[in-house]
Chain A
Amino acid sequence: MVIAAALGALLALFPLAAIFSRRPGVHAAVHAACLLACLTLLAAGLAHLSAPGGADQTLILPIGLPWMSAHFRLDSLSALFVVLINLGGAAASAYGIGYASHLPSPKRATPFVPLFLFGMNMVLLSDDAFVFLVSWEFMSLASWALVLADYTRAENRRAGAVYIVMAVFGTFCLLSCFGTMVGPEGDYSFAAMRAHPLAPTAAFLCVLLAVAGTGSKAGMVPLHAWLPLAHPAAPSHVSALMSGVMTKVALYAMIRILLDLRAGVPWQWGAALMVLGAVTAVLGILYAVLEDDLKTLLAYSTVENVGVALIGIGLAVAFRDNGEARLATVALVAALYHMFNHSIFKSLLFLGTGAVLSATGERRLSALGGLLNRMPWTGALMLIGAASISALPPFNGFVSEWLTFQILLKGPSVPHWAMKFEAPVVGALLALAAALAAACFVRVFGVAFLGRPRTAEAAAATEVGWWMRAPMLVLGGLCVILGAVPVSLSQALSVALAPLTGATVVMSADLGWPWLSPAGAFRGSYSGTVLALAGLALFGITILLVHRFGTTRTRRAPAWDCGHAEDIVNAQYSGQSFSEPLARVFASTIFGASETVEMPEPGDMGTATHTARKTDPIWVGLYQSMVGWSIGSPIMSTSCSSCRCAAIC
């Protein structure tokens, strides 16, 4: 009942916001109402999860097509995702209260935010294919409208065009997928689909279409091309929603179809998903590490994190098909933990980027610098987000990375050669992606927030207001808590996911409460709690000892810089120079990255130019050749002229 009321309120907000969009203060009011609705839904989700043995809540409404009624259901899986989505939704809505008025045309964005939230929640609650697809379209179209909120910019219009085509493709796949699963007498309810056995061909097609349809929404390579165009085009808090939350709805749909609606998806699909996930992770982060636009970079990093979650889902499918229910549970816990983490730190990072954008008007790394001294709150919170996404202990990203890696180590227990050989390869790619993510976010934070400001705008930046800071604070706090207390959430996930795999795993069985060590699943343990406490103690002891035995005198004096006394701001490393060695090692083959340097003849006073080019092979190979799209970013080239090279001796 509470849920229905909150959802109804979200739906009603859309026309209200549209009608009153010229009133002052309406944007803040709409976002505040969204915040309330999200918090209500969040509480409802939590209540469902914490109720002991909570029965599924179902609702059948006589709406929709004349001969069908609409089915809704809240089970533990959807409750988990309701929590996840409304957590991100609440943070973005609260942020929107302060942020919406900074937008160039808020009236084109505000009405669609509640609609977007409504669509996502409805997808989670739907219990038949019809409601599911209609809600899915609500979600897609509302987000499409948000991508076009600032339609005056040509690249946003391009992004909208690519997005709508890919969204239609995804929905088409899902529609056909449900078509293959439809029960006897055309029964489209999920219950009928569960009970309906499929012929082998239909089963194969069904899984293929499900992976393609949900994967395209989640940003799985090679269907990711729309994502880094569309996500950054929307206003920052909506980017947070699209990247942090909407991709999770897509992964929810994948889990729902592969692990709930279909009973026996063969392990080969799990193996395929793992490879897809590993490739997605590495390619996504490679794109990100070479990117200059902060929001596009974050969108590419979303592709990476979706890949990590896909590895977990793939493992769960493979384990379940081999009767390893407990391992399947742990794999799914790893995937879900990662989704929670990603929605938290990616929202945090997008909101922080929005703060930077509203303070400087810039989102290119090459135009920022030195922001930590000017925006201490945003800077410190972005640092937490960067450390979390780089999977560093004791923050939350590490917990899910650890779980994923541990469960991957159990991959060879599936008795097939393909799986045995695949597990180390996927492990190597996963580790590569994690290490590159650290490089990527050192680059982001180091270039944007440390060093000296590269432009006057960056030098004049000031801290943003409390309405924008508060949601970031909450998200940053969650990054620390979920990292330092890993057992509680993973235990809750294990219980909630048990119906899918058929086994509950006690996540701290071997050693007790603060030690993450699922009994029998793998012999290895981690305790963020103990590690964080011990680390803090050592940190304190170090400082005390140094200050006790050394001097505390400090002097401010110009930097040494090997004696280069000139104060040239552009001599510091830029984002491009930071990623140049990485590009040379990793991207010269994959992205055809190349550089040309043109030096004028001695005596010629012309400027020297340095051009770096790279090509996106997937875009060129798949999209351009198939549909003849030459829009987007077939060639990403950047050039700089006459800057002083770093390599002066």
Chain B
Amino acid sequence: MSQTLSYDVAHLIGAIVLMAGFTLLYQRRVFAVLNTFAFQAFALAAAAAWQAHVQNAPHLWATAAIALIFKAILVPLALHWLVEKLGIHRAVEPALSIAWTMIVGVALVGLSILLVLPVTANAAALTRESLALAMSVVLLGLLMMITRHNAVTQVVGFMALENGLILAAVSAKGMPLVVEISIAFSVLVAMTLFGIFFFRIRERFDTLDVNSLETWRGEGH
């Protein structure tokens, strides 16, 4: 298989991850957000698997499996269960309208390209592209965390951000497995913590809108 084709396929899968990042911003229902997130994780698993195949690096298969099992299946299912269990309001509450979020998203992609280009001036165009893609996914996840009120969507935003990190890790040749495993576990821990956190917020305030927390920081009232 030619070198260019393998890179092109990798970039296309990366682009699908990025598209899913945009779709996350576009959704208005919590369940749709979870489904999209599962799709993004699935695409990420595909990206890792492709890299495993191309680079002939067996440890990347493990990364792909982790992404597939945990992020594409378990985490969305768990969040789904949480949302149903807690009876969380199922509409996404955007702090910034969807159209503006997407415009800011495109601006962020532009920004990440502008950042990546000078850094990788000597690198091949191929590495540049995957780095720009991964960085855009990270920034979009960040944007989602900033512009969505609901705690569930914030968690999804956090994990989308982390998807971007993994995407960067798998695209770079020779990244050891330790990094990915540690990332995966940190996410798992974060997930558990968030779960407990949800229950606690919910018990205290009867809502998962993080704005309600502000009164407890001593602002307001």
Contacts and interface: CB of A to CB of B under 8 A. Distances in A.
A20 interface: no
B114 interface: yes
B50 to A, nearest CB: 29
Interface in A576-606: 585, 589
A421 B106 CA distance: 12
8 contacts: A417-B114, A417-B117, A421-B110, A421-B114, A585-B99, A589-B97, A589-B99, A589-B100
Interface residues of A, number: 4
A52 B94 CA distance: 65
Nearest to B118: A417
Contacts of B99: 585, 589
Contacts of A589: 97, 99-100
A585 B99 CA distance: 9
Interface string A400-422: 00000000000000000100010
Interface string B83-122: 0000000000000010110000000001000100100000
Interface of A: 417, 421, 585, 589
B75 to A, nearest CB: 34
Interface residues of B, number: 6
B114 to A, nearest CB: 7
Contacts, number: 8
Nearest to A418: B114
A585 B97 CA distance: 11
Nearest to A425: B110
B96 to A, nearest CB: 10
Contacts of B100: 589
Contacts of B117: 417
Given A417-B117, A421-B114, 6 more contacts: A417-B114, A421-B110, A585-B99, A589-B97, A589-B99, A589-B100
A456 B147 CA distance: 52
| Top 5 A-B pairs, shortest CB-CB distance | A421-B110, A417-B114, A589-B100, A589-B97, A417-B117
Nearest to A424: B110
A417 B115 CA distance: 12
Nearest to B97: A589
A417 B97 CA distance: 29
Nearest to A588: B97
Contacts of B97: 589
A609 B178 CA distance: 66
A425 to B, nearest CB: 9
A311 to B, nearest CB: 20
Nearest to B96: A589
Interface in B43-74: none
A420 to B, nearest CB: 10
B189 to A, nearest CB: 39
B107 to A, nearest CB: 10
Nearest to B114: A417
A589 B104 CA distance: 14
A585 B100 CA distance: 11
A219 B100 CA distance: 27
Nearest to B117: A417
Contacts of B110: 421
Contacts of A421: 110, 114
A421 B112 CA distance: 12
A549 to B, nearest CB: 47
A441 to B, nearest CB: 25
